[in-house]
Amino acid sequence: MTDAFIKLGKVGVHTTQNKGHDPEFWAAQVTNKICGISEHAPEHVRQQALAFKQTVYDIVLRGIRSGIASDRTTVVNLLRGQGHGDMADIIKEL
Least confident residue range of 5-9, 21-25, 30-34, 68-72:
5-9
| pLDDT tens sequence across 18-46 | 999 999 999 999 999 999 999 999 999 99
Q: Where are the domains of the chain?
A: 45-94
Round the average pLDDT of the chain to a whole number and report it: 93
- Cα distance between residue 59 and residue 30, in whole Å: 11
- What pTM does this model have? 0.79
- What average pLDDT score do residues 47-75 get? 98
User: What pLDDT is recorded for position 3?
Assistant: 62
The answer, yes or no, to whether residue 5 has pLDDT greater than 80, is: no
